[in-house]
Amino acid sequence: MPDETPTASARQVELLESAYRYALEHGLADLSLRPLAAAIGSSPRVLMFLFGNKDGLVRALLARARTNELAMLEQVGQRTGEASIGLATAVERVWTWLAAEEHRPLLRLWTEAYARSLVEPDGAWSGFARATVRDWLAVLAACQPPPERDSGEGIARRTLALAVLRGALLDLLATEDEDRVTAAVRHHLTLP
């Protein structure tokens, strides 16, 4: 079946990138088209035309955020020439990326979208949290050696690793105490 997804125009891509930068700075919770349009040099009518409605724009922004997330996960799990790097190495690499100050705007946006997806399971946020969990577990699984990856214990270990990373991320975003939270993640990696 041929791909029936319409190709985005150059203007749509340009406005999406500008709206994405705006969302990284201001979040999505109180997103209003008029201030957004003014900030990115457009109009609410143009945004409505290009994205259908506010939910369509939010879905496009979430897809854009997910693209960044998937690129990061790909970097962590798929380094050229490496065999299975192991779960501990993967967690350490992911945490290093998550803890970097320059990624905080994206991570705040991701956290907001994740939470909204849980409390508003329909509409623009639909499925964001579930897809994110699936993406992260797949990357962590790819880092495990096949015998571990395919076992019940392997599934439990990567689920725990994801829970530790997600909890540590929330704590870091809430407190900005990178040293304490990083020490906790590293301590977790030493546990049997």
CA-to-CA separations, 6 to 51, 82, 187, in angstroms, rounded: 12, 37, 48
Read off the pTM: 0.81
- Comparing 86-90, 119-123, 159-163, the range with the smallest average pLDDT is 119-123
Query: Do 71 and 150 touch, CB atoms closer than 8 A?
Result: no
Where do the domains of the chain lie, and which CATH numbers do they carry? 10-190 (1.10.357.10)
Confidence of residue 118 (pLDDT cuts 50, 70, 90): very high
Confidence of residue 1 (pLDDT cuts 50, 70, 90): very low
What do you get for the CA distance between the two ends of the chain, in Å? 48
Mean pLDDT, residues 15-38 taken together:
91
Task: Answer whether residue 74 shows pLDDT above 90.
Answer: no
In this predicted structure, what is the pLDDT of residue 4? 44
138: left (phi over 0), alpha (psi -120 to 50) or beta: alpha
- Comparing 68-77, 132-141, 142-151, the range with the smallest average pLDDT is 68-77
